């Protein structure tokens, strides 16, 4: 029971950290997104190795990693997909589009549901079916009024869901896979940063130490919630994790509207409300499932 509570607390804390992440990027307005992503990749490797050492987790040998080629290929694909998702997210929160980032994370579970049906042969419940329809209606309402798709939100939501799907095919543990993702991309990122420095076009390297440290700091600040999440995942249920994941986009939504002053007009209010309604139905269904499981367990235990 104590372990379960600790898992819930760690999961909630990880989503809070993700939710307030836009605050850090306010120090990097109009950042060079290419360099920011490259710096994050490069410095993620030493950060993750330090974390693994501190937690005293065994890191598999290169022979063990190479022996599981299916996981290695899936990890490589996951790394590329995460790059696209993080690129869109970083662009949004450094270009006054935190609401778009929030919307992307709100619709991510619905993309995950759709991918589960398409690739994992999962069946939609009535609540999930309604949520998907409501999300399509919400996005469609924005398109009808604005005349364009919310591309940043859709890219974030869909690619993060694809990243989760890839994780289903990786047999390495969570910390190992995250470290490998960065290590696979690090040589390309390092070559890019060196080329930028030689050409004299590097913002990170040529704008002073404070800017450089902010670019480097993007690695630990984005990895911290991921590490807490990895520690939580084996200590709590996936259902609880699913319910708590809405902490992140909710905090980002509140920051966008009340701190950053982004426009939340009637069109966005209706669009978000339709998506929130679908998520509310899924949440009710999940809570009902938790209650039923506890009731069945109590009956079987003779309580």
Over residues 57-78, the pLDDT tens digits come to: 887 788 889 999 999 999 999 9
**Taking residues 127-152, what's their average pLDDT?**
87
For residue 286, being part of any structural domain is answered with: no
- Residue in this structure with the two tokens 């701190």, named with its chain if needed: 259
**Taking residues 21-41, what's their average pLDDT?**
91
For residue 244, being part of any structural domain is answered with: yes
Q: In whole angstroms, give the CA distance from residue 267 to residue 273.
A: 10
**From residue 216, how far is each of 36, 85, 108, 199, 300 by CA, in Å?**
8, 19, 28, 20, 53
**From residue 5, how far is each of 8, 211, 233, 236 by CA, in Å?**
5, 39, 12, 8
- Asked if residues 94 and 27 have their Cβ atoms less than 8 Å apart, the reply is no
Q: Quick check: 295 pLDDT over 60?
A: no
**Taking residues 73-97, what's their average pLDDT?**
92
For residue 276, being part of any structural domain is answered with: no
Q: Which domain holds residue 50?
A: 2-120+150-266
Q: Quick check: 143 pLDDT over 80?
A: yes
Whole-number pLDDT of residue 218: 93
For residue 275, being part of any structural domain is answered with: no
One DSSP character per residue, 131-148 reads HHHHHHHHHHHHHHHHSS
Q: In whole angstroms, give the CA distance from residue 232 to residue 235.
A: 5
For residue 96, being part of any structural domain is answered with: yes
Q: How many domains does the chain have?
A: 1
| 1, burial (CB in 10 Å: exposed 0-12, middle 13-18, buried 19+) | exposed
Contacts of 91 (CB under 8 A, 6+ apart): 33, 97, 152
Q: Quick check: 137 pLDDT over 80?
A: yes
For residue 303, being part of any structural domain is answered with: no
Over residues 234-252, the pLDDT tens digits come to 677 656 666 677 888 999 9
**Taking residues 176-186, what's their average pLDDT?**
92
Over residues 197-217, the pLDDT tens digits come to 999 988 888 888 999 999 999
- Asked if residues 193 and 35 have their Cβ atoms less than 8 Å apart, the reply is yes
For residue 125, being part of any structural domain is answered with: no
Q: In whole angstroms, give the CA distance from residue 131 to residue 263.
A: 25
Q: In whole angstroms, give the CA distance from residue 127 to residue 154.
A: 21
Q: Higher pLDDT residue, 126 or 2?
A: 126
Contacts of 73 (CB under 8 A, 6+ apart): none
For residue 293, being part of any structural domain is answered with: no
Q: In whole angstroms, give the CA distance from residue 5 to residue 16.
A: 16
């Amino acid at each position: 029971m104590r372990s379960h509570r600790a898992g819930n607390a760690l999961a909630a804390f990880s989503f809070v950290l993700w939710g307030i992440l836009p605050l850090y990027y306010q120090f990097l307005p109009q950042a060079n997104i290419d360099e920011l992503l490259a710096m994050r990749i490069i410095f993620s490797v030493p950060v993750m190795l330090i974390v693994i050492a501190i937690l005293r987790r065994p890191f598999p040998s290169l022979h063990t990693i190479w022996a599981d080629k299916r996981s290695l290929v899936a990890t490589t694909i996951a790394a590329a997909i995460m790059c696209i998702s993080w690129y869109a997210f970083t662009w949004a929160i450094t270009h006054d589009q935190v609401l778009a980032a929030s919307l992307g994370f709100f619709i991510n579970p619905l993309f995950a549901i759709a991918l589960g049906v398409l690739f994992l042969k999962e069946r939609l419940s009535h609540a999930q079916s309604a949520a998907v329809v409501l999300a399509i209606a919400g996005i469609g309402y924005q398109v009808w009024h604005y005349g364009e798709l919310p591309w940043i939100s859709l890219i974030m939501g869909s690619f993060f869901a694809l990243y989760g799907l890839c994780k289903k095919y990786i047999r390495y543990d969570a910390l190992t896979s995250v470290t490998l993702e960065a290590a696979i991309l690090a040589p390309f990122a390092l070559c890019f940063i060196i080329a930028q420095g030689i050409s004299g076009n590097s913002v990170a390297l040529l704008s002073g130490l404070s800017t450089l440290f902010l670019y480097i700091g993007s690695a630990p600040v984005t990895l911290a919630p991921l590490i807490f999440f990895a520690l939580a995942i084996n200590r709590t249920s996936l259902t609880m994790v699913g319910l708590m994941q809405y902490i992140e986009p909710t905090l980002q939504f509140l920051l966008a509207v009340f701190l950053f002053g982004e426009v939340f007009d009637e069109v966005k209010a209706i669009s978000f409300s339709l998506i929130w309604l679908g998520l509310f139905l899924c949440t009710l269904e999940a809570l009902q499932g938790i209650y039923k499981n506890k009731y069945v367990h109590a009956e079987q235990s003779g309580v």
